[in-house]
Structure 1
Amino acid sequence: MTKSTTTILIDTLQQAARAAGKLLHEGYHDVGVIDFECKGASDFVTHYDQAAEHAIIETIRRAHPDVGFLGEETGATPASDSDLTVIIDPLDGTNNFLHRVPHFSVSIAVRQGKVLTHGVVYQPLLDEMLWAIRGQGAYQGSQRMPVLPARPLTEMLVGTCFPYHDKGDCATSQRQLSALMPRVAGIRSPGSAALEIAYTGLGRFDAFWSQGARLDLWDIAAGIVIAREAGCKVTDLSCNPNPAEWNSLLIAKPEQHDKLLSVLVK
């Protein structure tokens, strides 16, 4: 992609995230119970997930009709004449949304071939846009995220996702939690992996780890681009280089990444 094409694409992704975020903002503030369907254990979908994904696809398709899509709600739509795939989680944190917890996001990434190139994570209640382009840095709105120094383990605040209700490997998650708890300053599981990963790039978390909870590519793809461009080292816990196959994740500053890995993998 040329620099001009890349700029146009990231602008379109942000427009799409805002269109979806407007729907979620309105839905969050509606009076009454939000109707939902259960797709599986601790896996819910609302009208707002579906409407937000439709808004994202329509916004992007108008500007880039040839790209393919991989959406949490609509599945895969092959590209007609492009090596670009847009990866969408229209509402990351549906459980929070259902319970009126003000922590959820819109997550949109682009993959060129097998390489993640663009990432946008948008928090509609805060109107906060976090985004990155591969090789061009990570941004909070119009401000470039600084590459912050690593804290020692004893001062680190670590984000994570835990498995619940038979959705994942609870025993592995508990073992790793027990190994990490005595070594860090705090562990948080707010409930929107896309936001927590992007927040690690921004410095609100010092690291993010998950193994046991099921994280699909649309949960993590945009955040991975942001975290990498903000200077973090991003891997799974088994050295698999392909994010599409990952069932674990570790994100931290390079100085602390391997120390955390040695604690978690024993």
Structure 2
Amino acid sequence: MHESSLIASLQHAARLAGAHLLEGYQAAGAIDFEAKGASDFVTHYDRAAERIIIDCLQRAHPGLAFLGEESGVTPSGAGDTTVIIDPLDGTNNFLHRVPHFSVSIAVRQGRSLTHGVVYQPLLDEMLWAVAGEGAYRNEQRFAVPPARALHEMLIATCLPYHDKGDCPTSLAQLTALMPRVAPGSAALEVAYAGLGRFDAFWSQGARLELWDVAAGIVIAREAGCTVTDIAGDSTPDEWASLLVAHPERHGELLEILSAGGLSRTCAASP
């Protein structure tokens, strides 16, 4: 499969899904939804957008496997290439008419994340990357801007809510981080760290799924960010935590966040 053909197909699928989401966002009246769990919603638009993406890519590249937030695993007997889809990252924002959501599509070949597309339909902004080929905003290549001083940084995060995740560790890390920085759709925000709109993205305990962050990880890495979990592992088996930052700030932030987690452990000790 030619890489340029695959990334072009991912972008095309994202635009088709984005057009459908835009239609729903602009429609008059309330958007119907179902609750999947506490503060976890799904709309007709999530499901329809995911179906649009899968149908588009199956026609262009028969034999792909899929991992979708709404449809789960669609296996394939050919090769080890899986497309990871979050058709509407930021469903709660979408439901409340907050203009901050995206279509997120990534590709994993074996264990490696190789392609990422994050499309914001309201801005018609396509952030995309292929491993080893750099990161792009529409057709313009970009790289992470120079590192800001720690006290000037704007950091995005995804905190656990209701019964989803580890609140004590997140709060301990937040306590360690807040005196040093200014705080700021996970897929969009991870990609924005590469673009420089955020200086870093941090999450611990929020149970982010692979489809939430995979495309953003590819884009941020290709822009020049360092991407690891809070243990410093760049290729964990599961992304239970995440830190995306400029290489000059990543180690410093990792040390602060690790100390925050340690302080929680110490406080809990008898």
Coarse TM-score class (shorter-chain normalised): over 0.9
The within-5 A match list for 1:15-94 is: 15-94=12-91
Does 1:255 find its partner at 2:248? yes
SS in 2 for 1:25: helix
2: CA distance, partners of 1:206 / 1:45: 30
1:187 alignment counterpart = 183
Please report the TM-score for the alignment, with normalisation by the length of structure 1. 0.95
* Displacement of 1:178: 1.4
Alignment equivalent of 1:127, drawn from 124, 144, 156? 124
8 Å CA contact 1:134, 1:225 repeated in 2: yes
8 Å CA contact 1:120, 1:131 repeated in 2: yes
Alignment equivalent of 2:99, drawn from 91, 99, 102? 102
SS in 2 for 1:245: coil
Q: Which runs of 5+ in 2 are unaligned?
A: 260-270
1:197 alignment counterpart = 190
Alignment equivalent of 2:134, drawn from 128, 133, 137? 137
Equivalent AA in structure 1 for residue 232 of structure 2: C
1: CA distance, partners of 2:24 / 2:190: 24
* Displacement of 1:259: 0.3
* Displacement of 1:78: 1.4
SS in 2 for 1:265: helix
* Displacement of 1:58: 0.5
Deviations 1:78-117 (A, max 9, x none): 1231221000000000011111111000000001111000
1:173 alignment counterpart = 170
Equivalent AA in structure 2 for residue 127 of structure 1: D
2: CA distance, partners of 1:260 / 1:241: 15
Alignment equivalent of 2:229, drawn from 219, 230, 236? 236
2: CA distance, partners of 1:7 / 1:122: 18
Misfit runs of 4+, over 6 Å: none
Equivalent AA in structure 2 for residue 58 of structure 1: D
Equivalent AA in structure 2 for residue 122 of structure 1: Y
Equivalent AA in structure 2 for residue 187 of structure 1: P
Q: Which runs of 5+ in 1 are unaligned?
A: none
* Displacement of 1:32: 1.1
Alignment equivalent of 1:213, drawn from 206, 211, 226? 206
Equivalent AA in structure 2 for residue 183 of structure 1: R
* Displacement of 1:246: 1.6
Figure out how many residues of one structure are paired with residues of the other and give that number: 259
RMSD over aligned CA atoms reads 1.1
2: CA distance, partners of 1:132 / 1:11: 11
Equivalent AA in structure 1 for residue 221 of structure 2: R
8 Å CA contact 1:86, 1:110 repeated in 2: yes
2: CA distance, partners of 1:146 / 1:235: 18
In the superposition, relative to structure 1, how do residues 177 and 90 fare at CA in structure 2: closer, same or farther (>3 Å)?
Answer: same
